[in-house]
Amino acid sequence: MLIGPGKATKLGWWLQDAAYSVNRGRDHNQKGIVQNLCEVVLIFAESQRENRERNVLLTTASTVDFME
């Protein structure tokens, strides 16, 4: 993985701040690009969190199966 989920979330927050700054300006193309990047990074961070939770559940389930 190129970027960890915690760093992806921080990058998403940074991009949201950048989008807010751009909103105060007049460059609509830059505003759209920054907003799209925010969405992509935050979706990535959420998917990483879901993957971790699923892996924990799978590991727990396999441990319980092994113990039976």
Report domain extents, the chain.
5-67
- Please name the residue that has the structure tokens 């935050």: 42
Predicted structure pTM score: 0.44
pLDDT (tens digit per residue) in 32-53: 777 777 777 777 777 777 777 7
- DSSP string over 7-53: HHHHHHHHHHHHHHHHHTSS-HHHHHHHHHHHHHHHHHHHHHHHHHH
Between 3 and 28, the more confident residue is: 28
